[in-house]
């Protein structure tokens, strides 16, 4: 099989290449970037030197593959994806452009006019909840990093209607989520020895989490992300209120049941750590506890560049193409 990556110069592009190198069904890879056209891969991704010999950036227009990953900024995908679909390629888009059913919400949060969804089977690429839709899709909208950790963390509670409608998500992310381009926000002395809240009520991932969770049950999401002085990983802390008292064992059992057939979800009692999933496609869920206000607190951890982006994209590809869902994703976490 032949795949292409458009926008292969960023972190998600690099991670797709790391993972695809071990994917048994991949026969050929195209990497496209307008800026780096003609340059060898290792100029942009020095860690991949010797891994892909002779791979060179081509222009996005030259792409001709069975499936294309568009790791392009939001807004840019809107311009590229329809023509790829028209030319018969399957597309997995890593931007926010095709994640929303409600395009008004998209336009409000992304400040971009949406031209409307293309005529195609479109699925939201969170396999644990939408595997059936993904299987039939021509275009998969790969979820945002925060939504992946948040939705997987809360889905069983919402589905089983165990918690009050108002849910608080206090998320902590590594800096690689901000991408490979430097800015004041990512300037080392601004990040180091600090932990910084940002977009504290209006982050774009808030409505994404809300739209998808509401397919399972009624929920109103309050979402606040924090930038932590780490490179990889998202810890999601969910503060919820139980409708009625429950034993922790019941909740744990319910989670284990909910995810029992999932290869990439690990549910356990202990508090999860970023290092338990680093570099891998796992989402670990644990640390369940209830206090005397009937607050249930629980946690998930993901590698934002893997399960939160490129790993999940390959998981989606495997489903779309009928491959083993774990193919190329048997990565063991790097700890410490």
Min separation Cβ 31 and a copy of itself, Å: 15
Subset of 47-86 contacting a copy of itself (CB under 8 A) = 47-51
Whether the ω angle into residue 336 lies within 30 degrees of 0, i.e. cis, is yes
- 147 in Cβ contact with 212 (< 8 Å): yes
| Contacts for 86 with CB less than 8 Å, ≥ 6 apart | none
Min separation Cβ 238 and a copy of itself, Å: 10
Distances (CA, A) of 334 to 7, 62, 149, 280, 308: 26, 36, 19, 8, 16
- 73 in Cβ contact with 95 (< 8 Å): yes
Does position 256 interact with a copy of itself (CB under 8 A)? The reply is: no
Subset of 157-176 contacting a copy of itself (CB under 8 A) = 166, 168, 170, 172, 174-176
Out of 235, 314, 317, 319, the only residue in the binding site for a copy of itself (CB under 8 A) is 235
Min separation Cβ 317 and a copy of itself, Å: 18
Subset of 266-325 contacting a copy of itself (CB under 8 A) = 266, 268, 270-271, 273-279, 287, 289-293, 295, 297, 299
CA distance 302 to 278: 7
CA distance 206 to 213: 11
Query: String of b and e for 111-148 (b: at least 16 CB within 10 Å)?
Result: eeebeeebebbbbbbbbbbbbebbeebbbbbbbbbbbb
Min separation Cβ 37 and a copy of itself, Å: 20
Which string of x and - marks every residue 194-223 that binds a copy of itself (by CB under 8 A)? xxxxx-xxx---x-------------xxxx
Residue with Cβ nearer a copy of itself (121 or 222): 222
Residue with Cβ nearer a copy of itself (97 or 327): 327
* Number of chain positions touching a copy of itself (CB under 8 A): 83
Residue with Cβ nearer a copy of itself (113 or 166): 166
Subset of 30-49 contacting a copy of itself (CB under 8 A) = 45-49
Residue with Cβ nearer a copy of itself (79 or 196): 196
Out of 13, 14, 125, 127, the only residue in the binding site for a copy of itself (CB under 8 A) is 14
Strand 57-58 with 28-32, pairing: parallel
Which of 145, 152, 158, 320 is catalytic? The answer is 145
Tell me the sheet residues that pair with 301.
235, 284
Query: Around Cβ 72, how many Cβ atoms within 10 Å?
Result: 25
Q: Which stretch binds a copy of itself (CB under 8 A): 78-86, 91-99, 230-238, 321-329?
A: 230-238
- List, as one string, the DSSP characters of 278-303: TTSS-EEEEEEEE-TT-EEEEEEEE-
Out of 133, 159, 231, 254, the only residue in the binding site for a copy of itself (CB under 8 A) is 231
- Would residue 283 show up in a list of annotated catalytic residues for this protein? no
- Of 116, 82, 81, nearest to 95 by C-alpha is 81
Active site residues: 145
């Amino acid at each position: 099989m032949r795949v292409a990556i458009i926008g292969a110069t960023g972190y998600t592009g690099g991670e797709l290449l790391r993972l695809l190198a071990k994917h048994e069904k991949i026969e050929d890879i195209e990497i496209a970037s307008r800026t780096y056209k003609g340059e060898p891969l290792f100029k942009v991704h020095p860690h991949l030197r010797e891994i892909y010999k002779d791979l060179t950036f081509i222009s996005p227009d030259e792409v001709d593959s069975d499936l294309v990953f568009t790791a392009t900024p939001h807004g840019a995908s809107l311009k590229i994806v329809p023509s790829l679909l028209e030319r018969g390629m399957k597309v997995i888009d890593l931007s926010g452009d095709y994640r929303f059913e409600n395009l008004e919400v998209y336009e409000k949060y992304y400040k971009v006019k949406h031209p409307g969804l293309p005529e195609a089977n479109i699925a939201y690429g969170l396999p644990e909840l939408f595997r059936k839709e993904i299987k039939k899709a021509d275009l998969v909208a790969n979820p945002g990093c925060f939504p992946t950790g948040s939705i997987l963390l809360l889905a069983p509670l919402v589905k089983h209607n165990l918690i009050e409608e108002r849910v608080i998500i206090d998320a902590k992310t590594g800096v690689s989520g901000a991408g490979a381009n430097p800015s004041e926000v990512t300037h080392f002395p601004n990040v180091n020895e600090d932990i910084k809240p940002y977009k504290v009520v209006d982050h774009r991932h808030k409505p994404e989490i809300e739209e998808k969770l509401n397919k399972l049950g009624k929920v109103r999401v309050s979402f606040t992300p924090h930038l932590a002085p780490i490179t990889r990983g998202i810890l999601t802390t969910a503060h919820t209120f139980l409708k009625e008292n429950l034993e922790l064992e019941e909740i744990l059992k319910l989670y284990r049941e909910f995810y029992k057939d999932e290869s990439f979800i690990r549910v356990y009692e202990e508090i999860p750590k970023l290092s338990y999933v680093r570099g891998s496609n796992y989402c670990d869920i644990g640390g369940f506890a209830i206090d005397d206000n009937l607050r249930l607190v629980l946690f998930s951890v993901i590698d934002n560049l893997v399960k939160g982006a490129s790993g999940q994209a390959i998981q989606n590809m495997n489903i779309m193409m009928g491959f083993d869902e774990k193919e190329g994703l048997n990565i063991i976490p790097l700890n410490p």
